[in-house]
Amino acid sequence: MSLEKGVKIGGGGGRISSTREEKMKPILTFDVSHNDQVVCGGTEVVDEDSYLLFWDVRSSKLLGAYWESHSDDVTAVKFHPSATHSLTTGSTDGLLNVFNLLEASEDDALLFSFNTESSVVRII
């Protein structure tokens, strides 16, 4: 899995600190891949950025982050039930995004972006 670097884990449960801004960001939602190897967490927007953060479950190491695909709080994160590399996210910006996590960059990973014209609360 190729993810963009630049985010480090901060102190305190459910918060991270970005090396770009050094501001704490609350995690609002998360999901674990079906093979139990990757956790993805979505954050609240702070200073115009919201993050999708990826951790290796086995080592608790932060693998990387995406921060350009949503412009508001990330409220839903869901891995595909059988394709570990496929992730769908939703936000209060109304976007429902589908990513291929095998791609090298966030721009390449974003396969589809649907505007629901309403806040996304959850993904079933």
pLDDT at 122 (0 to 100): 93
2 belongs to a structural domain: no
54 belongs to a structural domain: yes
DSSP state letter for 4: B
* pTM metric for this prediction: 0.82
102 belongs to a structural domain: yes
Residue 30 domain boundaries: 7-115
123 belongs to a structural domain: no
DSSP class per residue in 57-116: TTT--EEEEE-SS-SS-EEEEEE-SS-TTEEEEEETTSEEEEEETTSSSHHHHEEEEEE-
121 belongs to a structural domain: no
124 belongs to a structural domain: no
Report pLDDT digits (tens) over 14-38: 444 444 445 677 999 999 999 999 9
Distance separating alpha carbons of residues 64 and 66, to the nearest angstrom = 7
- The dihedrals phi and psi of 57, each to the nearest 5 degrees, come to -60, -40
- Helix, strand, or coil here: 48? coil
Q: How many domains does the chain have?
A: 1
57: CATH: 2.130.10.10
